[in-house]
Structure 1
Amino acid sequence: MRWELPSSSLDFFGSVKFYSPMSHSNAPELHPQIVDPFHNVTYRPGKLLGKGGFAYVYEFHDVNSDSSYACKITPRSALQKKKYYDKFVTEVTIHRGLVHPNICRVLNVFKDQMNYYIILEKCNGGTLTDLIRRRKHLTETEARFFSKRILNALWYLHDLYIIHRDIKTSNIFLMEDFDVKVGDFGLAVKCETPEELHWTMCGTPNFLPSEVIYSHIMKRKASGRGPDPNLDEDCVNLCHQLLPAYSGQGHSFSADMWSFGCLVFSMIYGRPPFEAADIKTTYKRIVRCDFSFPGSISVSEDLKNFIKGLLTPDPRKRFTVKECLDHSWLNPSKYFIPESLPPRIISEPYEVPPLCSASPTRNMQMTINMAKNAGGTDGRFIAATPQAIGGTEHIPTPGTANFYKPQNAILTTKSAAGASRASTAMAMQNVGSAQGVVNKYGINEAEYPQIDPPCYIMSWVDYSNRYGFAYQISNGSIGVIFNDESAAILSPNALIVDYSPSLLDAAFDRALFEEGTTILSEKKFKLLSFFRDYLENRSIVPIPAADRPKEDEELKRVIEQERMNNQEIDFKRLTKGLPLPQLFLKKWKLYDDGTLCLLFNTKVFQVNFADHSKVVVAHRSVTFMSEKREIYTYPSEYLKDDRFSFKELRRRVDRARKYYEIIKAARPVDSLAQYRYNKDSTKKSASGSSTRQLGQGGE
């Protein structure tokens, strides 16, 4: 089943969205085939699915598998201003790290000379806006189905300290079976703490909370500027009169809850609650909280109470995600909540009578009977008894859910682990009496808490057919093993370079990077600079400067100070904070099946498997990175505990140990032996082609 409506990407009833750097008339230039060189995938662009202020969305087909995706394309020309580029980087950084059944998944990110490409799972059911436009309005039963899944996504986001800031019907995408996928993270922001506040006025006017408006007014006033032209003097006065003072001090997670309240209202009544003829009037209605429930549609008092709890002007009194999920309107003991919806709801309502509350046993039997009578096309139902809650539901609720805690593979060691611990702590606090957070591999995080992952190689490129093997470490360092078995390592902020003429001796010299030719040949210095630019830019989201260690900056300041004092510089003496040598790759080996083995000078061992999963075995820890970039790091001693049932981690570690026995006995030159053998052999062949692909790389 597949259905589509025009204007599927337009904002609800003509509402406008802030931050629109690009005209819709400037569609991106697309070739007949788009190649992602780093993942070796070729796409064929299809029809235009939608467009917005920041990007265009096209249907993309994988020419090899014929799989269909949605591709969000942003022309490079639209991101020439730093603020637009930074905003784009923030969107990608946040979105690509999210793994949840109710969030649209980022599958791949790459770029070429003209555009940036974000490959997304394709939602063939259109958007919630499409469905509402076709049906005019939805029933309470349908609204409960969608609301519960949106709340599950919001729970997950808020648990990770992420505010979406643009929750609305056109950003709720639907699969063919009407499963929900929250998308468009163009305005999302990640907070460092739960108390963090933000001031930017962004979002869609019809779904904008009052504190976003008031905070914008107060911030502009503090800087001596006037507010947005659509916020006239009457609106400013209303804010001062009707809203609590702290509402003008920034917005937080509660902003998403207000927008969600507007979304629920829109599902039931077919329009946003504060919609008016112009934006100025809309803003005033929002500040006054001026909305009503039309009498033309009969609804339950529970629904009215639910919406009122969300559309509360005071953000501190507004319903949270947990309060929404605990509300009687979403109580399966009182109302039927279907697990899925049938195709016929495109054109006709799906109604289920409210359950009687007199007999739980009779209610449960009623549910079972209705499910049997409905058959496969009408969907399945959640059993009505409290004991069954969470046991048979298609999407688990936070009280009983298995929490996903993804860690983006580009995060540095401290930020990745810190986010994991903060996420776990917040989830535990919200769950209350639950036994603990259980990840998708069945590990109870309360019983087996994670620790900081070690530094690991996050991207690499193999140019050993000409120059050598280059890599980037998760702390920001760039290293190269040249074909003559020499090695260079550039510090995280590209200020200090260490060089060894032979990895067999591993004796390193040090210099400021700007003076690198004092210890490297000019050719190797140029190659190191080339690989630095290549590896820094090949990833769509570079490691933020704030997340890189600062020891090399401090060391450079000391060196410059000693030079000012006419002191002789002894780099071997000046190693405090930045040991000589820095962390570097000692050996590497790439197998024919794509498996890559990496051994650091600290004896930390990393294996990148052919399926893009990774394992890092350190002295006191083991780290598993799934093909979806989720990071799990545990103390090695857990492997001695039979109750630690992370089977995938154990399996990968066992395989890594076998590879380690091979590489630890090898000399550095053995890492290149296979290629050199192939090179010598192919010289004798007529074709003269190398068996190793030029410029092969990965993350």
Structure 2
Amino acid sequence: MSRAQPLQPLNNTQLNNRGNITPIKGVRRSKENQFDPVPVHGVPAAPPVAVAADKPKKKKEKLSALCKTPPSIVRTRNGRDYRRGNFLGEGGFARCFQMKDASGQIFAAKTVAKASIKNEKTKTKLLSEIKIHKSLKHANIVNFIDCFEDDVNVYILLEICPNQSLMELLKTRKRVSEPEVRYFMVQIIGAIKYLHSRRVIHRDLKLGNIFFDPQMNLKIGDFGLASVLPSLDSRKYTICGTPNYIAPEVLGGKNTGHSFEVDIWAIGIMMYALLVGKPPFQAKDVQVIYERIKKTEYAFPADKPISEEAKVLIKDLLSLNPLNRPTIDEILNYDWFKGPFPDKTYEESLVSTPPGFGKISKTQSSINFTNTKSSAGIYTPKNKNPVEILRSDLQSEQPKSLLPQSLSPNDTRNKYEEVNPSVLGKSNRRVNFNSNYSTTIKRLNQICFETYQNMRRLEYSKHEQIVSEELPRCENPILISKWVDYSNKYGFSYQLNNDDIGVLFNDENTILKVHNGSKFMELIYHENEGWTCIENSIHHPPSQVKRQLEIVDFFAKYMNSNLSKVSENEDRKETVFLRRYSRTSDYIMFEMTNGNFQFNFKDHHKICVSKSGLAITHISPSRIIQTHPLILVLKEGNFPVEEVPECLEKINVIKEAIKRKAFKDSSA
């Protein structure tokens, strides 16, 4: 008997049959159970194939066969009853039915047989899918409604999306016009940006998992393969997904690992498929698909022409190296999005191209593009805390139940309070990372990667016209004013230009004494959790840090007596730590907890990159300080107030140094 596999979403070919909804064999329906059929496309769709890179795929018996038809009335523990309606389709592990509540509202219910949950791994997979989907709320993600169980089934109740999926649209249309695809891409990108801000990787993005709601807005569904990254620089190693859409690093398995960039790759696959008519690596043999993916072996057919701007974007999205793919925000800056852009998707698009889409003016296209980005949440700040899978989400309190209380109904829609992962259970006052310390819990490689990508994008777009509203607000950053490298014994000591003094000890922890204050800060590194900040009183320090405080005082006296400052005092805007430093023969590089990078060059000119690479500061040997948007400096070729020797060369050195850090850390 084959071992039970993790839950797989519903079969797309059955689920997405608009005109022929077939009842389950052998099941007779009474008239009261046959309320008006609504074709559903807002539920988990085509089954992602569990792939093995080297072994041929074996045909497995569908565990959905174990799923019993729900009773005509499904009763929940919180007193809500749902009336079962039409059978909608099935996949490897689940069947889908319509469910109607007492008010007459119709939903889609993904139904999983408890008999198919044969081991702890499969159970964890199902509960993780529920927790992840339940924790999401976005205009372009299928809405999670409820989850409940009876003696034989678990039910996941979802928003119903009755207007087909992108896969069916493509099957009908064969190819889709570029203006329509632009609109589709913005809605998809908005949802993915939200997912990634919550540290969720979808891992099965494809045309069959993206659905049209009643207003023809696109919504991403099927979180059966979704995963939460415990930290921004961690990796996943399971080989999973749908063959035509799998990113090359996924096929590397434990040798490479994968992260958010697999979803960026999937955007490229979907864009190519919509414009050309089929996925770029498609073949009858799955192994041939994998070999093509590993070599990024694809072409743009001459008989199916698309714009050069579209080709440029697709090529970058399908970069073999994940770090060479554009970020979510960078994608929308490509020239391709400057073409005709509609105000919405019309139902007519399900069968044909709406007239006039190619003749939308530049002005109107720009307005439509901005409005669509706004509706898709592109401009929304990343202020959502990450999704977190708790132990209570995976353990049931009742012997016969599969769903834990934390995932069960009662206050289902509002059950999940956002969890601040940086607040760990230690004594003393914990600093709230949601305020000044939000970036301290970011891993170093993620900060390096974001900054490098922004610098690369600005360099690429320096010849374009500048929109003043998009320029960052520039203020002088907190800088390292003095430093002493005593790492052969204690660590690296530094004084900031707000007169705070810190020591980055050799064990990677930091103590920072706040100037003219009665407190000091400990920045403690945990291998799994990242960085945690604890505030203590100078007058009552914990016994284990008294010796370290003495070392900080020693360095403070030395620097105040022997070293000159880089710049004048800055008012306290935030508390900043040094997290890492590195030295070469040409410069010393400081990486700060607020995401800034400071470079002290051997010619005594100092440059700091801040605001994730959007702003740049120069400190001259005579201590004149100036801060400007990086794009303006790149355009002019130098700083406006006081020119910097070999300015662009120095900026390029900075960009390449940050790039090396991003690459090195991601491969570590």
Provide the rounded CA distance (Å) in 1 between the counterparts of 2:297 and 2:132.
34
Cα distance in 1 for residues equivalent to 2:188 and 2:158:
18
Q: 2:295 aligns with which of 288, 293, 303?
A: 288
Structure 1 residue 53: Cα displacement: 2.2
- What amino acid is the match of 2:178? E
Shift of 1:336: 2.5
Q: Which residue of 2 aligns with 1:340?
A: 344
Q: CA deviation at 1:110?
A: 1.1
2-structure distance, mates of 1:26, 1:197: 34
Shift of 1:268: 1.2
Q: Secondary structure of 1:316's match?
A: helix
Code of the aligned partner of 2:18: E
Whole-angstrom CA distance in 2 between matches of 1:99 and 1:87? 21
For the residues of structure 2 that align with 1:138 and 1:50, how far apart are their CA atoms? 26
Q: Which blocks of at least 5 consecutive residues in structure 2 are unaligned? A: 1-15, 22-39, 53-59, 388-413, 425-431, 455-468, 473-527, 530-668
**One-letter code of the match for 1:339?**
D
Name the aligned partner's letter for residue 399 of structure 1. Answer: Y
1:557-572 equivalences under 5 Å are none
What is the rounded CA distance, in whole Å, between the counterparts of 2:282 and 2:374 in structure 1? Answer: 34
1:58 and 2:65 aligned: no
Shift in alpha-carbon separation, 1:417–1:89, aligned structure 2, 3 A: farther
Give the secondary-structure state (helix, strand or coil) at the position aligned to 1:43: strand
Contact 1:382 1:393 in 2 (8 A): no
Compared with structure 1, are the counterparts of its residues 392 and 274 closer, same or farther at alpha carbon in structure 2 (3 Å cutoff)? closer
Aligned to 1:153, the other structure's residue is in SS state: helix
- Within the candidate set 283, 305, 308, 1:301 is matched to 308
* Aligned-pair CA distance for 1:26: 3.2
Output the CA distance in 2 between the equivalents of 1:6 and 1:130: 14
Q: Residue 383 of structure 1: SS of its match in structure 2? A: helix
Distance 1:288 1:351, change over 3 A: farther
C-alpha distance in 1, partners of 2:383/2:204? 23
Matches within 5 A, 1:446-457: none
Measure the CA separation in 2 of the matches of 1:420 and 1:345: 46
Deviation at 1:313, TM superposition (A): 0.8
Call closer, same or farther: CA 1:206–1:318 in 2, change over 3 Å: same
State which of 348, 367, 381 in structure 2 corresponds to 1:383: 367
Measure how far apart 1:390 and its partner are: 3.6
Alignment of 1:168-183 (within 5 A): 168-183=206-221
**How many angstroms does 1:345 deviate by?**
1.5
Residues 1:319 and 2:319 are matched in the alignment: no
User: Per-residue deviation at 1:343?
Assistant: 1.7
Q: Does 1:395 align with 2:375?
A: yes
1:422-476 per-position Cα deviation (integer Å, ceiling 9, x unaligned): 997579987999899xxxxxxxxxxxxxxxxxxxxxxxxxxxxxxxxxxxxxxxx
**Alpha carbons of structure 1 residues 15 and 250: separation in structure 2 relative to 1, 3 Å:** closer
CA 1:417–1:55 in structure 2 vs 1: closer, same or farther (change >3 Å)?
farther
Partner of 1:274: 281
2:563 matched residue in structure 1: none
Q: CA RMSD for the aligned pairs?
A: 3.8
Taking a change above 3 Å as real, the CA distance of residues 253 and 363 of structure 1, as seen in their structure-2 partners, is: closer
For 2:152 and 2:418, the matched residues in 1 are separated by 29
Deviation at 1:12, TM superposition (A): 9.8
Question: 2:69 aligned to 12, 22, 29, which one?
Answer: 29
Give the C-alpha shift of residue 4 in structure 1: 2.2
Whether 1:350 and 2:354 are equivalent positions in the alignment is yes
Letter in structure 2 aligned against 1:92: I
Give the counterpart of 1:130 among 154, 158, 168: 168
What whole-Å deviation, never above 9, does each CA across 1:226-261 have from its counterpart, x for those lacking one?
xxxxxxxxxxxxxxxxxxxxxx32001111111121
Q: CA deviation at 1:391?
A: 5.3
Q: Which residue of 1 aligns with 2:514?
A: none
Q: Distance in 1 between matches of 2:160 and 2:83?
A: 15
Q: Deviations over 1:180-232 (max 9, x none)?
A: 11011111110121111111000001101111112x2xx3xxxxxxxxxxxxx
Equivalences for residues 201-600 of structure 1 within 5 A: 201-214=239-252, 216=253, 219=254, 248-330=255-337, 334-350=338-354, 352=356, 363-364=362-363, 367=364, 383=367, 390=370, 395-399=375-379, 409-410=415-416, 415=421, 421=434, 425=439
* 2:578 alignment counterpart: none
Q: Deviations over 1:473-497 (max 9, x none)?
A: xxxxxxxxxxxxxxxxxxxxxxxxx
Residues 12-54 of structure 1 deviation map (CA, whole Å, 9 limit, x = unaligned): 999845598843433333111101221x211111122232223
Whichever residue aligns with residue 96 of structure 1, its letter is K
Does 2:235 align with 1:197? yes
Partner residue, 1:580 = none
Alignment-mate amino acid for residue 61 of structure 1: K
Give the structure, 1 or 2, with the largest relative contact order (CA under 8 Å, sep 6 or more): 2
1:50-106 deviation digits (Å, cap 9, x = unpaired): 3222322211111x1010001111111111211100101111111100010001111
What residue number does 1:534 align with?
none
Compared CA separation, residues 392 and 93, structure 1 to 2 (3 A):
closer
**1:400/1:75 CA distance change after superposition, 3 Å:** closer
Counterpart check, 1:142 vs 2:180: yes
**Cα gap change, 1:24 to 1:287, in 2 (>3 Å):** same
Equivalent residues of 1:396, 1:402 under 8 A apart = no
State the percentage of identical aligned residues: 28
Task: Give the count of matched residue pairs.
Answer: 377
Distance in 2 separating the partners of 1:435 and 1:27: 56
